[in-house]
Every structure is written in structure tokens, then in C-alpha cells.
A and B are shown apart, each in its own frame.
Chain A
Amino acid sequence: SNELTQPPSVSVSPGQTARITCSSDALAKQYSYWYQQKPGQAPVLVIYRDNERFSGIPERFSGSSSGTTVTLTIDGVQAEDEADYYCQSADSSGTYVIFGGGTKLTVL
């Protein structure tokens, strides 16, 4: 499948670890990217090439990949991390861009 599947929501308490998954057969062949979007703002690149942290992104954000699933991990979640998170990749042929449905991270 070329669709990217994310859980609709994840909830964690401050200081805990949040893990957001993204699954697709396409991820076995294509890189993944993660974006953070806060209300009323444009998305911001957080992770590229599965596990590279983008410039200016706090070290508590990390990415990993295993087969057809990639994971965004936020260690020591802070209130400011509450946002929607989207994964992005390409279809198996590498021609089209695809986005996951997004995950709303709630900090309790």
C-alpha cells in the first residue's frame, strides 16, 4: 500500500516519552520525513531521511525506521510539543509525495 497510516491521537504526561508511528509498504523503499504543525501555523520540518534531526530542532526529537514502520520519538515531552504531527514519504516508485493522516499529540 502507498498510504501512510498514523494513529489519530497520542497522549502523554509532561516529561514522559511520546512515540508516533507511521506505517506503509512504501517505507521499506523510501525515506520518511516528519513535520510538526501547531494551530494556525504552517508545518515545520522536524526529521528528514528517517532519523536526521533538522536544524534548530531540540534533541528530544528523534526518528527511527524498521521495515515498513517509522517512528517519531519525543523524549521528555514538554507542553510546547502539543501539536499535530505528519509523516511524509513517496510512493513505492518514488514519483508521488504522500502524507500520513496526522497524529494529534496531547500533553496531559
Chain B
Amino acid sequence: QVQLQESGPGLVQPSETLSLTCTVSGVSIMTYSWTWIRQPPGKGLEWIGYISYSGNTEYNPSLKSRVTISGDTSQNQLSLKLTSVTAADTAVYYCARERGLLTGPLNPWGQGTLVTVSS
């Protein structure tokens, strides 16, 4: 059974870098592509970006200048870094497995982790 678990600081200072980890169990991250999504409180889903099984990445154009997604095969983990954060980056951040051609269905999802940007 594939399971994903997001982790990282729940509070980040404005202008700092948000760093999250997604720990994957039940499958090697090298066999699928993986996606990060976020959801501001009370709002809809926003795609952040993905990393393919071969390590290629693609990002939401609106976040591209601030986002980096990478994978650590030794730890079977994914990471998300978002620089120069503001209050608008406050959201629940999810990682999910992509089961198609990079832009396909997402299953399963992690439980999500709330990140608040505030001083």
C-alpha cells in the first residue's frame, strides 16, 4: 500500500524559504512521477509542480521563479522549496503520486501539512 506523509515547519517567517518533505512508503519514488499541490484555507486546489520518475521537473508558471522540487532516492523522499514567501503562501501543502503522463490522475495523496506564513 502506497502512503505519503508530508512534514516540515508549520510556521515560516515572511521572506524566508518554505521547505517541506514528502516521505513515500510502499513504492520507490523512481517508479512514478510525483506532484505537489497546495490549498489556501477555505479555497481551492492549486498545482505547484511535479517531478517525473526520471527527475525532470515542471512548475506552475505563477510560482516557477520561487519553486524547486527534488527527490532523494536514498531516503525515498520528495522535497519542496518555496523561496521569498508571503502571507499568500499560507496553505495546506499536499504531495501526491501521479499515475498517468505527468498531468494525469493523482492517487494517493498525503494527509497534507498546514504552513502558515507569519511573523
Chain A residues engaging chain B, CB cutoff 8 angstroms: 30-31, 33, 35, 41-45, 48-49, 54, 86, 88-90, 94-102
Min CB distance B78 to A, Å, is: 16
By a CB distance below 8 angstroms, the chain B residues around A100 are 44
Closest to B48 in A: A97
- Taking a contact as CB atoms under 8 Å apart, the answer to whether A99 and B58 are in contact is no
- Taking a contact as CB atoms under 8 Å apart, the answer to whether B103 and A94 are in contact is yes
- Taking a contact as CB atoms under 8 Å apart, the answer to whether B44 and A42 are in contact is no
- Taking a contact as CB atoms under 8 Å apart, the answer to whether B103 and A42 are in contact is no
Dominant secondary structure of chain B at its interface with chain A = loop
Interface-central residue, B58, B99, B103, by most chain A CB under 10 Å: B103
Type the 1/0 row for B78-119, where 1 means its CB is closer than 8 Å to any CB of A.
Answer: 000000000000000010000111011111011110000000
Tell me, in angstroms, the Cα distance from A102 to B43 when the chains sit together: 9
By a CB distance below 8 angstroms, the chain B residues around A97 are 35, 47, 50, 103
- Taking a contact as CB atoms under 8 Å apart, the answer to whether A88 and B106 are in contact is yes
Tell me, in angstroms, the Cα distance from A96 to B109 when the chains sit together: 18
By a CB distance below 8 angstroms, the chain A residues around B47 are 96-99
Chain B residues engaging chain A, CB cutoff 8 angstroms: 35, 37, 44-47, 50, 58, 60-61, 94, 99-101, 103-107, 109-112
- Taking a contact as CB atoms under 8 Å apart, the answer to whether A45 and B58 are in contact is no
- Taking a contact as CB atoms under 8 Å apart, the answer to whether A86 and B45 are in contact is yes
Min CB distance B39 to A, Å, is: 9
By a CB distance below 8 angstroms, the chain A residues around B106 are 33, 35, 43, 45, 88
Tell me, in angstroms, the Cα distance from A45 to B37 when the chains sit together: 14
By a CB distance below 8 angstroms, the chain A residues around B110 are 42
By a CB distance below 8 angstroms, the chain A residues around B45 are 35, 43, 86, 88, 99, 102
By a CB distance below 8 angstroms, the chain A residues around B37 are 99
By a CB distance below 8 angstroms, the chain B residues around A30 are 103
Query: What would 17 A/B residue contacts be, using CB atoms closer than 8 Å?
Result: A31-B100, A33-B105, A42-B110, A43-B109, A86-B45, A88-B106, A90-B103, A96-B58, A96-B61, A96-B103, A98-B47, A99-B37, A99-B44, A99-B45, A99-B47, A101-B44, A102-B44
